[in-house]
Chain A
């Protein structure tokens, strides 16, 4: 049992209260599923924490005709439920409904998933890259909007003086998919994740998670697919292009070695394109 009775614990009810605690050095506590395992990793729990779960504005999913706004404290379970059936967000729903296990999904939040700095296998990151999400931060200097790619690259620095408050998504995808490869059906971190989305012009966006330390867009493959005819949205052809343009440096980890993470990408792309064709009626 943790013994520190002097720990500062703030359950903020507004973003302003949360920022005030952050200025005093409090670490952000979302669902707790990452931070509570710090002691298992040999890391002490922070001496001061600020919890965001009582801030109503951060616990909402707002669905508009051309955009969606997701509060940072929305859990995976709620996200999957709220966006179920929303065209173009099939990949995001699959990521939210497939991560970890049901108990974790009821607790772990969108913001926590994106802010766990050393977590390479975050399920939401690649699909939010495909959605070209914008991350809204509250910083010590005021609100800030940032593309998800830049956020993921710079989050070590950014989060030193900011809290992620919302994720903004455009509704410009016709279909999307999220393909993950765990070693077992559940309970493992995925070896590799491929997220794909296609817009009305059949332009494909692809992102990869868990292969490198930080999820990123697979721009080489996107360009190769755009260079070809529209029939590049063919699973077999996409897998061939994925093999040809595989520019990932796989990370070694407990679940798998780097070469394997890299090698499984073409078949995952094949599955992903097949899922896009099925979902989007593009076949």
Chain B
């Protein structure tokens, strides 16, 4: 079966088993290894990508279900000399990244969250992170960075990922 979809803004075609997990296409066929295959059960969040702007686990998404959809991976958030996403800037500034295994998933989950929840409270940020497990347990600094990102955007009246704050 042939499955076609947009991958980081470009046409992508896959010929093969439509029940192949999307994460395997990304990593093994397209060499987009920023998306991590860790638990493969939807618990850890390391494989999170955006499908039609929604943050979802790619380990449980059969590629057949993304036919005609737009998929964005961590590589699509910023590349080359482009500016980083504001959330990535804040993670870097807060030195929030530790081993890096969970981080692509954290960025994908939380970038959608800040876009949709510009006035989120700290408990709401934490609730949005429950599906992203950090084995280094550096959660508080991540929450700090998200809160700071939202705060900056509010003060500047800026866009965070396309939605006016």
Contact = CB atoms under 8 A, between A and B. Distances in A.
Contacts of A36: 19, 21, 59-62
B17 A5 contact: yes
Interface stretch (B42-50, B82-90, B143-151): B42-50
Interface stretch (B73-81, B95-103, B128-136, B157-165): B128-136
B1 to A, nearest CB: 5
Contact of B67 (A11, A45, A100, A186): A11
A181 B21 CA distance: 31
A220 B131 CA distance: 37
A228 interface: no
B41 interface: yes
Contact of A187 (B19, B21, B48, B133): B133
Interface in A27-44: 29, 31-33, 36-37, 40
Interface stretch (A83-91, A103-111, A117-125): A103-111
Contacts, number: 97
Interface in B18-65: 18-21, 24, 28, 40-43, 45, 48, 54-57, 59-62, 64-65
B16 interface: yes
A102 B128 contact: yes
B18 A7 contact: yes
A181 to B, nearest CB: 16
B104 to A, nearest CB: 13
A65 interface: no
Contacts of B55: 102-103, 106
A107 B56 contact: yes
Contacts of A223: none
Contacts of A102: 55, 109, 127-128, 130-131
A187 B54 contact: no
A45 B57 contact: no
Interface of A: 1-5, 7, 9, 11, 29, 31-33, 36-37, 40, 45, 49, 51, 53, 100-104, 106-107, 185-187
26 contacts: A1-B24, A1-B28, A2-B20, A4-B19, A7-B17, A9-B64, A29-B62, A32-B60, A32-B61, A33-B42, A37-B60, A40-B40, A45-B19, A53-B65, A100-B42, A101-B131, A102-B55, A102-B128, A103-B48, A104-B57, A106-B56, A107-B57, A107-B60, A107-B61, A185-B130, A187-B43
Given A1-B24, A5-B1, 20 more contacts: A1-B20, A4-B19, A7-B18, A9-B64, A11-B65, A29-B64, A29-B65, A37-B42, A51-B64, A100-B131, A101-B130, A102-B109, A102-B130, A103-B42, A103-B55, A104-B60, A106-B54, A107-B61, A187-B130, A187-B133
Interface of B: 1, 15-21, 24, 28, 40-43, 45, 48, 54-57, 59-62, 64-65, 67, 109, 127-128, 130-131, 133
The 7 closest A-B CB pairs, nearest first, are A101-B131, A186-B130, A9-B18, A1-B24, A36-B60, A9-B64, A103-B131
